[in-house]
């Protein structure tokens, strides 16, 4: 059978389809339960042709995570703009949806998957991954109304990923933890994260309010000085 010659545009379309299908399946089934075979068969290409786009499954997984980021931000904005939800309810719902990603169309890496991907990424690719990860969590914080400085981003990234990873790791990867208390543990951790974010949100608002009051106060002082000068000049 003669080989089919694909144009650059056709190859780009196929690559995009592989990433989109990969994200769809991984979000529904979990990354571990999604195989390369499932993906390339859905797209309608051969295994050999698949590997001309992605040397490993892990390379595809990274691309699906990048594709997922704008969808996550859109979901955050939807929750934060919902008038039926309080600030706490919106933030809590977002974190809960991520923890149970397979039920909500969000692909989340397990401990094992993170280890595999870390081994596969080149130094440059790892740097790009970190930059995009920082940008994502920073954007989430901004939508929460929390200052997206380096400290807040780093803390929020670790706390969020920890609760998501631990939830998926019990009991297989973390067999000494109690599986019967998984949901209660997740609830406790999410509430703790929301509490921490709310304090940072309040601190930001207080600082801004304080800044406004200080400006007003400066304005009043200037007015008094002007009045004194006017009084001395006999005006």
Is residue 2 pLDDT above 60, yes or no?
Answer: no
Q: Which CATH class is domain 57-214?
A: mainly alpha
What is the pLDDT averaged over residues 194-221?
63
| pLDDT level of residue 101 (50, 70, 90 thresholds) | confident
HEC profile of 15-27: HHHHHHHHHHHHH
Is residue 230 pLDDT above 80, yes or no?
Answer: no
- Specify the pTM: 0.80
> In 10 A of CB 65, how many CB atoms?
23
Give per-residue burial for 103-117: e unless 16+ CB within 10 Å, then b.
eeebbbbbeebeebb
| pLDDT level of residue 99 (50, 70, 90 thresholds) | very high
For 46-68, how does the pLDDT look when each residue is reduced to its tens digit (9 = 90+)? 999 999 999 989 899 999 999 99
Q: Please give the full DSSP string across 161-195, using - where no structure is assigned.
A: HHHHHHHHHTTTT-TTS-GGGHHHHHHHHHHHHHH
What per-residue confidence (pLDDT) applies to 104? 86
Query: In which element (H, E) is residue 112 found?
Result: helix 111-120
For 72-83, how does the pLDDT look when each residue is reduced to its tens digit (9 = 90+)? 999 999 999 999
Q: How far is CA 55 from CA 59, 136, 194, in A?
A: 7, 26, 40
Peptide bond into 83 cis (omega under 30): no
Is the pLDDT higher at 142 or at 113? 142
% of the chain with per-residue pLDDT over 70: 84
Label residue 202 left, alpha or beta by phi (over 0 means left) and psi (-120 to 50 means alpha): alpha
| pLDDT level of residue 228 (50, 70, 90 thresholds) | low
In whole angstroms, give the CA distance from residue 79 to residue 91: 8
What per-residue confidence (pLDDT) applies to 207? 45
Q: Look up residue 109 and give its two tokens.
A: 């890496």
Is residue 205 pLDDT above 90, yes or no?
Answer: no
In whole angstroms, give the CA distance from residue 212 to residue 215: 5
Is the pLDDT higher at 195 or at 220? 195
What per-residue confidence (pLDDT) applies to 213? 47
């Amino acid at each position: 059978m003669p080989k089919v010659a694909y144009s650059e545009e056709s190859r780009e379309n196929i690559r995009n389809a592989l990433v989109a299908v990969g994200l769809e399946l991984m979000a529904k089934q979990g990354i571990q339960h999604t195989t390369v075979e499932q993906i390339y068969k859905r797209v309608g290409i051969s295994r050999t042709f698949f590997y001309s786009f992605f040397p490993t499954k892990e390379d595809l997984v990274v691309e699906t995570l990048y594709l997922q980021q704008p969808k996550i931000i859109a979901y955050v904005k939807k929750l934060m703009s919902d008038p039926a939800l309080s600030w706490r309810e919106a933030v809590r719902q977002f974190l809960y949806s991520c923890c149970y990603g397979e039920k909500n169309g969000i692909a989340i890496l397990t401990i094992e998957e993170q280890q595999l991907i870390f081994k596969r990424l080149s130094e440059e690719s790892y740097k790009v991954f970190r930059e995009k990860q920082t940008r994502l969590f920073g954007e989430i914080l901004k939508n929460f109304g929390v200052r997206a400085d380096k400290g807040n981003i780093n803390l929020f990234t670790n706390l969020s990923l920890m609760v998501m990873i631990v939830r998926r790791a019990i009991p297989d990867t973390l067999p000494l933890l109690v599986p019967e208390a998984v949901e209660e543990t997740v609830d406790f951790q999410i509430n703790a994260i929301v509490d921490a974010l709310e304090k940072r949100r309040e601190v930001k608002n207080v600082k801004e309010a304080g800044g406004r009051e200080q400006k007003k106060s400066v304005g009043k002082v200037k007015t008094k000085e002007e009045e004194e000068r006017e009084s001395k000049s006999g005006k």
